[in-house]
Amino acid sequence: MRETIGFCFMFFGVVFDAIGCIGLIRLPDLYNRLQASLKCVAMGTSLTLLGTIIIVGLSPVGAKALLCLLFILIISPTTEHALARASYFAGVRMWEKSIVDKLKQDIEEPKS
């Protein structure tokens, strides 16, 4: 029973990984690809590690999986934020049909 629930979590994790990778291939510019690729992390790998924890239970393997889950959930948004900001200032252009650019507004009119 416990293994069945764990395999269900792992299956949905792989499904979200596949959706994120298709988004990484299909979407038009860098910022949209960042937005799609975080689905790989936040749902895909997290659900996989959660399924691992459910299958193996309380053991050293489960403790390492829990630690890995916490690390990934803290680390990955930090990385993507730094990468998006760096590539904006490095001059990577947005898609031509993008309609809002809040960072440019903030640079032109700094908040008092």
Partner 1 sequence: MINILIIALVCCAFLCLFRIARGPTASDRAVAIDILGIMIVAFGAFMSVKTGKEFYLTTALVWALLNFIGVLALSKFLEGKGFDD
Provide the token pair at 43.
């749902």
Nearer to partner 1, 11 or 107 (CB): 11
Number of residues that bind partner 1 (CB under 8 A): 48
CB 35 within 8 A of CB 8: no
Tell me the HSE value of 42 on the side-chain side, using a 13 A CA sphere: 9
Q: Residue 5, interface with partner 1 (CB under 8 A)?
A: no
Residue choice 5, 77, 85, 106 for contact with partner 1 (CB under 8 A):
85
* Burial class, 40, CB count within 10 angstroms (exposed 0-12 / middle 13-18 / buried 19+): buried
Q: Angle of helix 60-89 relative to helix 30-39, nearest 10 degrees?
A: 170
Q: Residue 9, interface with partner 1 (CB under 8 A)?
A: no
H and E: helices and strands count for the chain: 5, 0
Residue choice 2, 89, 101, 106 for contact with partner 1 (CB under 8 A):
89
Shortest Å, Cβ 101 to partner 1: 17
Chain position carrying tokens 């809040």: 102
Q: Which residues bind partner 1 (CB under 8 A)?
A: 6-7, 10-11, 13-14, 17-18, 20-22, 24-25, 30, 33-34, 37, 40-41, 44-45, 48-49, 51-52, 55-56, 60-61, 64-65, 67-68, 71-72, 75-76, 78-80, 82-83, 85-87, 89-90, 92
